[in-house]
A and B are shown apart, each in its own frame.
Chain A
Amino acid sequence: APKGEQCPACGLAAQAPTTQRDVLIALAKQSILSKLRLPDRPNITHPTSRGALLSALRRIRAQRVDTAISPGMPPDSSLPHRHPGVGVQEYEILSFAESESSTFHNIRLHFRFTQELAVSTEILQATLYLFWAVPSPGTHPVTVRLLQPDPTGLNMTMVSETRLEVQRTGWVTLDVGQAVQRIFGQGSQRLTVEVEVAEDWASLLLAGHRDSHWPFVAAQARVRMPHRVQRR
């Protein structure tokens, strides 16, 4: 500060305590929202149930431990960009499915990502978590398709197709990193997952499991770094 002038924060001390508090709260709110790239506080219309959230967090932790202790594999080897550098803001995103339509053989799940994140971040990794409630013993063929809306939004384009053999009830994970990267790269915010089964138990994927076995995508992202020019 030029000599004789106050430092930026010094003016605060001259205010009445209630005004000081109001100023600090306004500053704190503005600071949090701007750092999260949010124009305003989100209005939550469909909060995720606590059971679904806790279950998802447990699954992610279990998955990381499994990955870290796999024989012959260094810890976190599946997370190639875990340490992008000091000061780079990272995000972990949990997107729970919205179901659009289901039949006995087929179900469609939608995962919607917020525009601010799609624009400002790059996806490092994304995993789809599905819980199978297998109705009977044996091997059950399942096809999982990742779909993306075309620019008109009317039709769907298939990004990838994976065939699985499900043998028992439990969680299955699928790497959807490239698909989500592609969707973000094209300015879209929605990933659609189509699950098709040969028998008539597709609805079991969602029915009765809303609380703790709800399908979700866990993604890791970081703030998109602008290209830097260095001068020596």
Chain B
Amino acid sequence: GIDCSGTSRMCCRKEFFMDFKEIGWEDWIIQPEGYHMNYCAGLCPLHMAGIPGLATSFHTAVLNLIKANNADAAVDSCCVPTHRRPLSLLYYDRDSNIIKTDIPDMIVDACGCT
């Protein structure tokens, strides 16, 4: 995956951090101090479909087939997360119990074109 720089308009990962203190959530979330959500943005021209892509073998094959047979019917490719990881949270629930859990797929690590 590529991290967004100032000039490129191609599909890349933008970093986004939400500070729990800033939004007033530090009283019920003990750890961590914030959430590195990140997200994907940028252009995905058709020739970039499946690079690096999700489930590339299948999707690339189908897209290439469509492209080859009928360019007008082709779909645009989207810039989406290709690798995500869990967010570990230690927090108070409504009864002031303390809960530790890993929420799957919450942090975007890499982006690519579908």
Binding site for B on A (CB under 8 A): 1-5, 7-10, 12-13, 24-25, 27-29, 31-32, 35-36, 38, 41-48, 53, 56, 87, 89-96, 112-114, 116-117, 189
9 closest residue pairs by CB, A with B: A7-B78, A94-B98, A92-B100, A42-B94, A114-B93, A35-B103, A95-B97, A91-B101, A112-B95
- Asked if B100 and A46 sit within 8 Å, CB to CB, the answer is no
Is B76 in contact with A3, judged by CB distance below 8 angstroms?
Answer: yes
Inter-chain CA distance A5–B27, complex, in Å, is 42
**Is the CB–CB distance between B74 and A28 below 8 Å?**
no
Given contacts A53-B98, A91-B100, are A32 and B35 in contact (CB under 8 A)? yes
Contact A1 B76, CB 8 Å, known A9-B40, A114-B94: yes
Known: A1-B76, A90-B102. A46 touches B96 (CB 8 A): yes
A216 to chain B, nearest CB (A): 9
Further contacts, 11 of them, CB under 8 A, given A3-B74, A43-B28, A89-B102 = A5-B76, A9-B39, A9-B40, A10-B79, A12-B39, A29-B18, A42-B28, A44-B96, A94-B97, A94-B100, A112-B97
Give Cα A36 to B106, complex, Å: 12
Question: Quick one: given A10-B41, A42-B92, A44-B28, are A89 and B76 in contact (CB under 8 Å)?
Answer: no
Cβ of B99 within 8 Å of any chain A Cβ, yes or no, is yes
- Whether B92 lies near A25 (C-beta < 8 A) is no
Shortest C-beta distance, B112 to chain A (Å), equals 12
- Shortest CB-to-CB span from B82 to chain A, Å, is 14
Task: Report B91 CB to chain A, min CB distance, Å.
Answer: 8
Contact A32 B103 (CB under 8 A): yes
Contact with A along B56-78 (1 / 0, CB 8 A): 00000000000000001111101
Q: What is the bound-complex CA distance between A12 and B55, given in angstroms? A: 26
Q: Which residues of A contact B106 (CB under 8 A)?
A: 31-32, 35
Residues of B1-36 whose CB lies within 8 A of A: 16, 18, 23, 25, 27-28, 30, 35
* Among B73, B79, B89, B98, contact of A93 (Cβ-Cβ < 8 Å): B98
Q: Which residues of B contact A56 (CB under 8 A)?
A: 98
Cβ of B54 under 8 Å from chain A: no
Q: Which residues of B contact A91 (CB under 8 A)?
A: 99-101
Chain B contacts for A28, CB-based, 8 A: 16, 18, 35, 37
Contacts A13-B41, A32-B35, A36-B101 given; does A113 touch B18 at CB 8 Å: no
Closest chain-B Cβ to A188's Cβ sits at a distance in Å of: 13
CB distance from B8 to the nearest CB of A (A): 13
- Chain B residues within 8 Å of A112, by CB: 95, 97
**B95 & A114 in contact (Cβ 8 Å cutoff):** yes
Q: Is the CB of B92 within 8 A of A87?
A: no
